[in-house]
A and B are shown apart, each in its own frame.
Chain A
């Protein structure tokens, strides 16, 4: 019995050692502004939040999700001070509902990219033959996109698939991610052979060695203007971050991820 007791004590000590770091003061300062942002903005916004902190702006707390889901939560009074949406229509709806301080600022026109795991021949085939021909020739088991019902990038990916005649052909082989991030995760984990996701997400430098991507023409789908807007009674910290995101330096970061304001020149290719 003493052996069991010693083992339990040992296990508890191990657990305590494991959890010790969590007792350190949280990096999230009390009262840091809360920001809700579309999943595709994660790479760009993570970089911008770090630059904001270095410039003395302090911490910001960012929650990433499907824009439709976030706007729904905001309409129900979720405590965010700033909303960055993948689809400006959702921003306009919130302004009309009296939740947000209109009209907000356009961040850029979202671009789609075809993605496949590094080492798969699919991306090369798409470059060589075009999307429709390459996918029709390939043996695709699962093709990942975000859920068109509530993720703007999913809706646009569905438009591209319909336009290229692939929608009916893929049928039950389409797998839907909860957000565009989850759709990309399906491809990265190898569970889906390929997919169509946000270029802004797939061009994350952290994924460079794991992913092949082919930017898709923006003329293939209705424009997807990303727009940010302050929520009514936003705190001063959130307003400072909102102003920072409009500086030329911040614009350059967005442009690096393929997000250029409408009429602001051509989006980068990959």
Chain B
């Protein structure tokens, strides 16, 4: 059997993560690419941490940091009357945090590749910062931005450890496809696990192929 509800939830989580993270990643990536200041290394390191830390560490901090004894957990309850842990929103917060480096780094590399001369030229032509960004830089950085989006989406589908720690495996709310596969394996249902694993494999393959195809276009076009 295939857990369609879990697949729907995974796709929703991936889309929502990309929607929230991509604008942030473009702005942060552009800022890091174009400015030089003391302490930049610290900020870059902090944004790369989720790539290095085990999901258990992130999961543990989120469980405590979003829990009912925490400022964030209490503020959320004050606003919405529900708990952040064990909810789709909580898993989304975790997903955005975990994916920061996956989204920011390709964007940053793309903006770095444009170089200061192009930016200066845009300014000379009387284009303001936002006009230059919109008409010159974004089109040039397109492949990096798409790569960031694709990697973020694919990585969210595969996220397991953090969701296992803060999700509570609630069907339709926090039981993603990766968790559902794990459940099937633990319950000795290899057929179910194999079918769902094949779906994830297919999605990941398509996503990464798209990203490379777009990256290749820019080099040859």
Q: Please say whether chains A and B are actual partners in one complex.
A: yes
Which residues of A are at the interface with B, using a C-beta cutoff of 8 A?
Answer: 4, 66, 68-69, 72, 141-142, 144, 147, 149-150, 172, 174-178, 186, 189-192
Q: Which residues of B contact A191 (CB under 8 A)?
A: 63, 67-68, 83, 85-86
18 inter-chain pairs at a CB distance below 8 angstroms, sorted by A residue, are A4-B38, A4-B41, A68-B186, A68-B187, A72-B186, A141-B82, A142-B86, A144-B168, A147-B169, A149-B186, A150-B186, A172-B170, A175-B168, A176-B168, A189-B63, A191-B85, A191-B86, A192-B86
**Are B83's CB and A141's CB within 8 A?**
yes
In the bound complex, what is the Cα–Cα distance between A149 and B3 (angstroms)? 14
Interface residues, chain B, with chain A CB atoms under 8 Å away: 38, 41, 63-64, 67-69, 82-83, 85-86, 164, 168-173, 183, 185-188
The answer to whether A175 touches B86 (Cβ under 8 A) is: yes
Distance in angstroms between the alpha carbons of A51 and B77 in the assembled complex: 46
Question: Top 10 closest A-B pairs, CB basis?
Answer: A175-B168, A150-B186, A176-B169, A190-B68, A149-B187, A191-B85, A175-B86, A189-B67, A191-B67, A149-B183
Known contacts A66-B186, A68-B187; 12 additional CB pairs below 8 A are A72-B185, A72-B186, A141-B83, A142-B86, A142-B168, A149-B187, A172-B173, A175-B170, A176-B169, A189-B63, A189-B69, A192-B168
Chain A residues, CB < 8 A from B187: 68, 149-150
In the complex, which residues of chain A have a beta carbon less than 8 angstroms from the beta carbon of B41?
Answer: 4
**Cross-interface CB contact of B83 among A72, A142, A144, A172, cutoff 8 Å:** A142
Expressed in whole angstroms, the Cα–Cα distance for A109 and B168 within the complex equals 27
For B69, what are the chain A residues with a Cβ–Cβ distance below 8 Å? 189-190
Residues of A within 8 A of B86 (CB): 142, 175, 186, 191-192
Do residues A69 and B186 form an inter-chain contact, with CB atoms below 8 A? yes
Whole-angstrom distance between the Cβ of B169 and the nearest chain A Cβ: 4
A191 CA / B72 CA spacing, docked (Å): 13
How many whole Å from A116's CB to the nearest CB in chain B?
A: 13
CA distance A263 to B150 in the complex (A): 60
The closest CB in chain A to the CB of B184 belongs to A149
The residue among A68, A172, A175 with the most chain B CB atoms within 10 A of its own CB is A175
State how many angstroms separate the Cβ of B70 from the closest Cβ of chain A: 9
Is A172 a contact partner of B183 (Cβ separation < 8 A)?
no
Do residues A178 and B83 form an inter-chain contact, with CB atoms below 8 A? Answer: no
Chain B residues lying within 8 Å of A186, measured Cβ to Cβ, are 86, 168
- For A66, the closest partner residue in chain B by CB is B186
Q: Smallest CB-CB separation from A144: which chain B residue?
A: B168
User: Looking at A68, A144, A189, which has the most chain B CB atoms within 10 Å of its CB?
Assistant: A189
Contacts of B83 in A (CB 8 A): 141-142, 191
User: Are B68 and A72 in contact (CB-based, < 8 A)?
Assistant: no
Question: Bound complex: CA of A174 vs CA of B186, how far in Å?
Answer: 19
Q: Taking CB as reference atom, which chain A residue is nearest B64?
A: A189
Q: Which of A72, A144, A147, A192 contacts B188 (CB 8 A)?
A: A72
**How many Å lie between the Cα of A178 and that of B186 in the bound state?**
10
